[in-house]
Copies of this chain bind each other. A is one copy, B any other.
Amino acid sequence: MDQVMALVTNAPSGGAISRRVTITGEPGDILLKPLYTGICGTDRGIIAGKLPFAYNPVGYDFLVLGHESICSVVESDVSGFKAGDLVVPMVRRPGKCLNCAAGRQDNCSDGDKHEAGITGKHGFMREQFRESSRYVVRVGDSSLSRTGVLTEPTKNVMKLFEVFSVISGRSIYPTPDYSFQGKHAWIIGTGSEGFLFSFMAREQGFDTFMTNRHSVDEGRLGIMDQFGINFVDYSRDFDTAVKDIDLLIDTSGDPTTILRFTQRVRQNGIVFLFGTNGRAPDGAMSGVMVDHLVEKNITIAGSVDGAKRHYEQAVSYISKWTHEHPRAMSALITNEEPASSVDPFKRGNSNGIKTIISWK
């Protein structure tokens, strides 16, 4: 393959530059070109050299960045795809365990998998790349050429709610109306992933609360308003406002915050851990907390990544949300940058929600 422009780092040391690279021998029956790629906390962590588990592909002294993307098919050697089709490539590639054999590399049992743009596989922030169609998800709705970049973060949401439906089966979880109306979902964090979790909690019928330790800007409040989501600044209002939680989803990774909210989880409630922050200070887990978890049959569940069906469901819900709340979905993308610059990585997220890079 010829040289292409790419945004690369040197994992796990970090850094980010835009330069021409030549990558040969990648398997694939389909040639893709990104339209947009998204930047998330993992990308910023890699560039800052803070994620020691990141590593370059074998035989390379660099790693092409990027695992969130919406792409266009350039050419395809397989039926079912044709030039111009919108698609999203999957991040994680299977190892040899049984979960991986069943397409569940998100549940990989032995850690023997790879992640594009993170661990041993080049990512999607490059002009074009070959890909195996097995790991490419169709986006049938042509109006998703921009918001479709949210597919990858949304697949995490779909997997988490699948796990929710499994775990909630341990007791009678819905209301006596067999509904989630009147049940309370709380989402800690007001980044893009927090919004996507909240949208899905609304879809399930939960009374839904986003929360953070500070107030949020009008843009965020506007999005919440369109989806019928409440906001609580818990630095002001914890004691009176935070209560009766049936479903808690954390995107902060902060143990102290997680434990504080978990105290307010009701009988048969479920706490999901999604956010990670290995450098967060310790939280104090008390004997009373253990008692609370036991006596009320509360479950805490870590959940990472998602499988192909979760990508497909993500596409479906992004399509739904984009049609129903076009302004809110558009407002999730607060920054769009050209592919020529590495500034957005360095700048941090400041107060934006999602920064994307245009490759068009």
Interface residues of A (CB under 8 A from B): 98-99, 101-104, 106-111, 134, 140-141, 162-163, 166-167, 169-172, 174-181, 203, 205, 228, 253-255, 258-259, 266-268, 273-304, 307-309, 312, 316, 319-320, 323-324
The answer to whether A169 and B166 have CB atoms under 8 Å apart is: yes
The answer to whether A287 and B178 have CB atoms under 8 Å apart is: no
Chain B residues whose CB sits within 8 angstroms of the CB of A282 once the complex forms: 284-287
The answer to whether B172 and A98 have CB atoms under 8 Å apart is: yes
The answer to whether B302 and A174 have CB atoms under 8 Å apart is: no
The answer to whether B277 and A287 have CB atoms under 8 Å apart is: yes
Q: Which secondary structure characterizes the binding site on chain A?
A: mixed
Q: What is the chain B residue whose CB lies nearest that of A256?
A: B285
A205-B315 Cα distance, complex, nearest whole Å: 11
The answer to whether A103 and B178 have CB atoms under 8 Å apart is: yes
A312-B183 Cα distance, complex, nearest whole Å: 15
A319-B319 Cα distance, complex, nearest whole Å: 11
The answer to whether A287 and B109 have CB atoms under 8 Å apart is: no
A181-B44 Cα distance, complex, nearest whole Å: 35
Write 21 A-B pairs (CB below 8 A) sorted by A numbering. Answer: A98-B175, A99-B172, A102-B176, A103-B179, A177-B307, A178-B307, A178-B309, A179-B312, A180-B309, A254-B287, A255-B290, A258-B290, A273-B293, A277-B290, A281-B287, A283-B285, A284-B285, A294-B302, A299-B301, A316-B320, A323-B324
Chain B residues whose CB sits within 8 angstroms of the CB of A303 once the complex forms: 294, 297
Q: What is the chain B residue whose CB lies nearest that of A300?
A: B300
Do A107 and B267 form a contact, CB below 8 Å, given A134-B177, A167-B299, A174-B309? yes
Do A287 and B278 form a contact, CB below 8 Å, given A174-B103, A205-B312, A300-B299? yes
